[in-house]
Amino acid sequence: MATPAAQSIEEATATATTAPATPRSRAQAVAPAQPLLGDGLAERLPALLRLGGSSWSYPGWQGLVWAKAYSERILAQRGLTAYSQHPLLRTVSIDRSFYRPLAASEYAVYAAQVPEDFRFVVKAPSLVCDAQVRGEEGRGREANPVFLSPDLALDTYVRPACEGLGSKLGVLLFQLSPLPMGRLIRLQQTLSELERLALAVQAQLAGLPENARPIVAFEVRDPDWLRPDIAPHFAQILRNSGATYCLGLHAKMPRIAEQLPLLRALWPGPLVCRWNVNPVFGPYGYAEAEQKLAPFDRIQQPDDATLEILARTIAGICSKGQQAYVTISNEAEGCAPLSMVRLAEAVASQQAA
């Protein structure tokens, strides 16, 4: 994922005044592809499972999600209603919130475009989740003074998302960017800061009805979080704050089998998983993956090993009455909707076994 340009604290926390456009007439609306993705397959899946994309504005999904060719801009503004009509697509990640905080009014526009049973995964702003202030080229320039700030997270992210999305908010996701070496050496200090943030979020959500509270999940991009001296403490913090660990299937992290012990330490609990960049592209291969796999209209790098373990994990967790949110990137295998179909078929097979 491209790194946002550096910006001041004031600019990054400013409330946006322009909400994404909504369709003004039937002629302007985006039409879903026919047959609908997952038609006949979705009903064979656990009701507690939600599959979706990491964002949705991809013209290459023509014929799979979209009925015809639409521009990326049109899809970003008007494609969500068509997306949510597909039985298999019951969630989606709002990734743009990572680059700048969104206002409650912007979230409300998204909520108005989807049915009542649809749920969003929303990424926290990088201003909260990145320990460094970065330049245009993505390199860290200096330490971020508001990294993991509870007040900033609540003001610019948690409260606006809850207000704007209401019951359609499924997951509050804190994706922690790779840490600089100084913080990796002092990871216990970062854990203490994360604990304060997680407890503050829990306190904020405590006022919501229990069945309307979103899942709070933390994704990391450094294998050090899984170290034997760190992982138990990390798990304890998440458990005590009512949060969970997000399986980040990204080339910067170990494969899924090596991450599952941390998730097991939180059992019983929900599954939040982001199936991102295929490991064949290496830990810094996002740009290469994006270039080689575009326009994301077919499977090019099938990752059967990940799919098999993930399907078993989903089936096991849902069979015990726990929710599962899985969002898939085009960079995982080449085409997120087709990866969803592959994963859904594998889960359905597990259900039938």
What's the 3-state SS for the chain?
CCCCCCCCHHHHHCCCCCCCCCCCCHHHCCCECCCCCCCCCHHHCCCCEEEEEECCCCHHHECCCECCCCCHHHHHHHCHHHHCCCCCEEEEEECHHHCCCCCHHHHHHHHHCCCCCCEEEEECCHHHHCCEEECCCCCEEEECCCCCCHHHHHHHHHHHHHHHHHHHEEEEEEECCCCCHHHHHCHHHHHHHHHHHHHHHHHHHCCCCHHHCCEEEEECCCHHHHCCCCHHHHHHHHHHCCCEEEEEECCCCCCHHHHHHHHHCCCCCCEEEEECCCHHHCCCCHHHHHHHHCCCCCCCCCCHHHHHHHHHHHHHHHHCCCCEEEEECHHHHCCHHHHHHHHHHHHHHHHHC
Mean pLDDT, consecutive 10-residue stretches, the chain (353 aa), reads: 38 39 57 95 97 96 97 95 98 95 97 98 97 77 94 98 97 96 94 98 93 95 96 97 97 95 97 95 87 96 97 97 98 97 97 77
- What pLDDT, on a 0 to 100 scale, did the predictor assign at position 140? 65
- What pLDDT, on a 0 to 100 scale, did the predictor assign at position 352? 77
- What pLDDT, on a 0 to 100 scale, did the predictor assign at position 211? 83
- What pLDDT, on a 0 to 100 scale, did the predictor assign at position 18? 39
- What pLDDT, on a 0 to 100 scale, did the predictor assign at position 283? 82
